Structure 1
């Protein structure tokens, strides 16, 4: 089987192999981030954040089970069969719908944090509206794909819904990244503490890296989907997109573990340094006090010597005057 419906078979199998491999690799990274979140005592007291994390992980687990089912049917059971290779199976659910729901949950969580930092519900409302728009488009895309017989018709029939989903995802990512970056820059300017500025710099770098990564993958997915038709080129980034969102969100939450350890280390330094500093100050004060006493004693000695000398001179002058008076008499 060299071609399938006039398209080289490698344009179907190659992106599928890469997409499924990256999908499983990113799922392993996600599991490690979840382990860090649950066992590293992340300083997060909100119950709803833990609920969001577990919902996202369960959705990603269901997604990878479905994509593995599709991979086995496409690359193993349908080997040599064009109809089996281009069939959609669970692709209508695991790629657009699950990815749109997972993305919307995470973007709305970021919107809540933006509202806390900015104290502006207008900005948060814009982020939530854009996120819900792309989620609605993903559900519409999934419903359209469900009625299609093969991948050959997906680009034509789901053109608008896919463009809205990926375009809305890209716009929302950029909006979140720039909003948080500007808000964190403002927070850094309002503080003079070097430790706080260092933490904010690391947080700004983390927000830019994670936000731009998901935005770039979304725009690559959209470009491949709109440019190359009747193949699976867009499937590789599409399978990676939801995992990247989940990983970036957990990385953002787990970053506070490093901050907490840094606080503990700085607290230990703050506890240890004043002890040595206090001893040094006490020693310096004692030395200073000793020097002052010596100086004060020497001043008293100098004053006593001068008064004694003056008294001796007075006595000598009186004795001389007495002798002169006696001679004259």
Structure 2
């Protein structure tokens, strides 16, 4: 018991971790409702990932609530209950690794669609699968050892691979998305503003998960025999799920911006046509732009010969 820290170093991080877990779950529920109401015509695979991730996060929340009730309510005043594993081995490392690896593999697929690079996509997917497997391995190690105070020592290698691989994969995804989206700029103000918005969302969501993973790894390796690392651990899985849905739901804003731009352009063309018919001058046809948003991956092209149509909301967002 010489290595056992003061009670506050165990209960304090647990309370904060459970609160952040519930708060981020509320944000996730709102994001899912927005996605459902938007009526995106996504493929069955994407919808399976979206709703599957929400089911996994709900299961994680139920298990974490069970642990918090047993630790902080039923076990109040009993120090040994603070050192019980309960479902922590499964709801923290195991489910977090499953969620993060799934979402990172999704990003690898989207980057392949954007860049047509097998090397980049396979590299990202490989790192994602390795870190996910390491997270699951850590969960099994904790379950087998049942040694909460010695968790940092027993799972040092697997945790380093898990969280280090998570941060590395997120950084690669952010850099690659920034590079390829930046190359897609066309010079048109509207299209470039949409691209800038997508770049900003990608960097913000990707870097948040990478920074939290680094913070968790640092706390895990620096502070022995306490629960400081539990706070970011409870946040990591929900942050991945929220960032994934934020990226998908950003198509709503993209569609509105483009619809507004196309409406303005149509009115401009109509005004020019009427004016030229009255004066007998030259009729000016503005070049039309076609927009294709493939899960927040955009391509723009100028096609003056194509008849302009103002596609409905779900067609602008494109099937995948």
Same fold (TM over 0.5): yes
Partner of 1:301: none
- Asked if 2 retains the 8 angstrom alpha-carbon contact of 1:4 and 1:82, the reply is no
- Asked if 2 retains the 8 angstrom alpha-carbon contact of 1:66 and 1:90, the reply is yes
Deviations 1:235-261 (A, max 9, x none): 000000010000000000001111112
Instruction: Provide the TM-score with structure 2 as the length reference.
Output: 0.85
Higher mean Cα deviation, 24-33 or 192-201? 192-201
The answer to whether structure 1 residue 162 and structure 2 residue 141 are counterparts is no
1:11 to 4, 9, 18: 9
Higher mean Cα deviation, 268-277 or 146-155? 268-277
Partner of 2:146: 149
Partner of 1:308: none
Instruction: Provide the TM-score with structure 1 as the length reference.
Output: 0.83
The answer to whether structure 1 residue 221 and structure 2 residue 219 are counterparts is no
Partner of 1:324: none
Partners of 1:267 and 1:124 in 2: CA distance = 34
2:184 to 176, 184, 187: 187
- Asked if 2 retains the 8 angstrom alpha-carbon contact of 1:67 and 1:91, the reply is yes
Partners of 2:147 and 2:11 in 1: CA distance = 15
Matches within 5 A, 1:51-70: 51-70=48-67
Partners of 2:21 and 2:42 in 1: CA distance = 31
Partners of 1:33 and 1:141 in 2: CA distance = 30
Partner of 1:75: 72
- Asked if 1 retains the 8 angstrom alpha-carbon contact of 2:4 and 2:149, the reply is no
Partner of 1:119: 116
Partner of 2:309: none
- Give, in angstroms, the shift of residue 210 of structure 1: 0.5
Deviations 1:252-305 (A, max 9, x none): 00011111122222222222222222222233338xxxxxxxxxxxxxxxxxxx
1:29 to 14, 27, 50: 27
- Asked if 2 retains the 8 angstrom alpha-carbon contact of 1:41 and 1:257, the reply is no
Partners of 2:4 and 2:160 in 1: CA distance = 26
Cα-Cα RMSD: 1.5
Higher mean Cα deviation, 44-53 or 199-208? 44-53
Matches within 5 A, 1:233-312: 233-285=228-280
- Give, in angstroms, the shift of residue 4 of structure 1: 9.3
Partners of 1:209 and 1:228 in 2: CA distance = 28
Partners of 1:4 and 1:259 in 2: CA distance = 58
- Give, in angstroms, the shift of residue 139 of structure 1: 1.3
Partner of 1:198: 193
Partners of 2:272 and 2:30 in 1: CA distance = 42
Q: Could you tell me which runs of 5 or more consecutive residues in structure 1 were left unpaired when the two chains were aligned.
A: 287-329
Q: Which has the higher helix share?
A: 1
Name the CA shift for 1:89/1:210 in 2 (closer, same or farther; >3 Å): same
Q: Which has the larger radius of gyration?
A: 1
Q: Could you tell me which runs of 5 or more consecutive residues in structure 2 were left unpaired when the two chains were aligned.
A: 282-320
Partners of 2:18 and 2:279 in 1: CA distance = 69
- Asked if 1 retains the 8 angstrom alpha-carbon contact of 2:163 and 2:217, the reply is yes
- Give, in angstroms, the shift of residue 88 of structure 1: 1.2
The answer to whether structure 1 residue 232 and structure 2 residue 230 are counterparts is no
Partner of 1:313: none
